[in-house]
Structure 1
Amino acid sequence: MEFTQLSDLKKIVDQQAVKKRIVLCSAADEHALEAIKNAYEKGIITPVLVAKKEDLLACAKNLNFDLTDIECHFERDLPAIIKKSISMVTAQKADILMKGKLSTAELLSGVLNKEWGLKTRKFLSHYAIFEIPEYHKLLGITDVAFNIAPGLKEKVAIVKNAVDFSKRIGVVNPKIAAVAAVEMVNEKMSATTDAALLSIMQRRGQIKDCLIDGPLSFDNAISFESKKSKGLEGPVAGDADIILVPNIEAGNMLYKSFVFFANAKLCGIVLGAPFPIVLTSRADSKDTKYNSILLASAASNE
């Protein structure tokens, strides 16, 4: 299956027998609650709201969000809110966790809490998908938000998270471009040596269910013309499904370049936990927030 638009993800969600339950942790945040309201009204999810009662009721009133039929859990303070929210998803009483009015660090600290969070340590990574007008299909990028300077071991884990997600939405053997500044291995540039090793590991079966090529410069990864001019061969160059960036700086700049220069639509989630995690920010557009919830619903597909 190949997707060309983010709206294609709704086809997966529409096929699910039951709407996914999404817990909004510290739900008294107008930006996050508005995104939940939008997705709920479009029939995408079943919301579960956890917050201080007075704060949530005031926030919902400002948004004209009728909570009569919405499952709400009222807690006394933020630590109790975090514990309640995460306990619900770890106990499989909900499918998706979403950040509300708290910091990313506070939420993830709760996710990794040994008492009521994840029972085993998981490698988390961020995965973003872009709908770019000039590209012929959706393009994934990882990791642009969590792992600052991943080494080879971490990059293997990042790839595996992305491949596992791809399976869940029906993308078979995604083409992964491990990008660097150049397409030739240079021992002074770790991005090129890591990319080459990842490519070899995939070919020898150490990394499964995908195709990896690298190092590839970014133009080689997404342009058939560039691929041809460089005399490159193989199925990944010019047709990448996923861009594996060498570090957070490269990923962040690529991410923002797509948004501000290429008018790209996007969504993003955190992978690696048994449940998808939605981290939206105040700077995200309404469409980005909705698409991220849509992506999380698709990612929780079984």
Structure 2
Amino acid sequence: MIQHLTEIVEEARKKGKKRLAVAYGQDSHTLAAVYEAYQEGLVEPTLYGEKAVIEQVCADNGLDIKAFNIVDEKSDVKCVQLAVASVVAGNADVLMKGLVSTDKYMRGILNKEAGLFPPKGVLSHVSIVEMPCYHKLLAISDVAVIPLPDFKQKMKQIGYLA
């Protein structure tokens, strides 16, 4: 049984690098997290955002710009559209939110024309928490996403975790 977040990272490493599409990935926190995942050998990142801003943030924070593929785009909405399209086209495996507002990000994900969200799909999320005072990891699912799921929705949520 996995009991620590580091064990999840090790399991992910065994599965090989994932192609990561970061929507509006141009702030220091996002870039630092993506850079760390890159250095850990977990991702091949593509950033959708303003190239000049990304270059400046990397320079200010000592991040090697060569770690990132950059698609230069100023519009945060367009960055979400491009990152989603990359996943839909099979050019990326994982979609990540950068410094774009959650409402714009979710609109891009849920846009039926984009083709990312399956028809009759159920939106779900899981947070994994490690607490030093507890003996194992906690998985917290769907906080405020589906406040009162019906049976079919619950079954889909469980299927996502399998």
The TM-score, its normalising length taken from structure 2, stands at 0.87
Per-residue CA deviation, residues 145-175 of structure 1 (Å, 9 max, x unaligned), is: 422333444333322322x2xxxxxxxxxxx
1:209-248 equivalent positions in 2, closer than 5 A = none
Cα distance in 1 for partners of 2:64, 2:136 equals 38
- Residues 76/11 of structure 1: CA separation in 2 closer, same or farther (3 Å cut): closer
**Partner residue of 2:94?**
96
Cα distance in 2 for partners of 1:5, 1:20 equals 21
Counterpart residue type for residue 11 of structure 1: E
Cα distance in 1 for partners of 2:146, 2:86 equals 26
Cα distance in 1 for partners of 2:138, 2:116 equals 30
Per-residue CA deviation, residues 188-221 of structure 1 (Å, 9 max, x unaligned), is: xxxxxxxxxxxxxxxxxxxxxxxxxxxxxxxxxx
Instruction: Give unpaired runs (5+ residues) of structure 1.
Output: 165-302
* Residues 1:38 and 2:22 aligned together: no
**Partner residue of 1:137?**
136
Counterpart residue type for residue 74 of structure 1: D
1:186-205 equivalent positions in 2, closer than 5 A = none
- Residues 100/54 of structure 1: CA separation in 2 closer, same or farther (3 Å cut): same
Cα distance in 1 for partners of 2:149, 2:114 equals 28
Instruction: Give unpaired runs (5+ residues) of structure 2.
Output: none
Counterpart residue type for residue 99 of structure 2: K
Cα distance in 2 for partners of 1:79, 1:143 equals 25
Cα distance in 1 for partners of 2:149, 2:117 equals 24
**Partner residue of 2:46?**
48
**Partner residue of 2:9?**
10
> Is the 1:126–1:145 contact (alpha carbons within 8 Å) kept by the matching residues of 2?
no
Per-residue CA deviation, residues 34-56 of structure 1 (Å, 9 max, x unaligned), is: 11112212222111111022222
> Is the 1:110–1:117 contact (alpha carbons within 8 Å) kept by the matching residues of 2?
no
> Is the 2:45–2:68 contact (alpha carbons within 8 Å) kept by the matching residues of 1?
yes
| SS state at 2:44 partner | strand
> Is the 2:47–2:70 contact (alpha carbons within 8 Å) kept by the matching residues of 1?
yes
1:99 Cα deviation (Å)? 0.5
Counterpart residue type for residue 21 of structure 1: R
**Partner residue of 1:292?**
none
Cα distance in 2 for partners of 1:35, 1:115 equals 30
1:92-171 equivalent positions in 2, closer than 5 A = 92-118=90-116, 120-121=118-119, 122-162=121-161, 164=162
1:119 Cα deviation (Å)? 5.9
> Is the 2:21–2:96 contact (alpha carbons within 8 Å) kept by the matching residues of 1?
yes
The TM-score, its normalising length taken from structure 1, stands at 0.49
Cα distance in 2 for partners of 1:24, 1:131 equals 25
**Partner residue of 1:70?**
68
Cα distance in 2 for partners of 1:148, 1:103 equals 22
Bigger radius of gyration: 1
CA RMSD of aligned residues (A): 1.9
**Partner residue of 1:233?**
none
Cα distance in 1 for partners of 2:130, 2:67 equals 34
1:5 Cα deviation (Å)? 0.9
1:61 Cα deviation (Å)? 2.0
Count of aligned pairs: 161
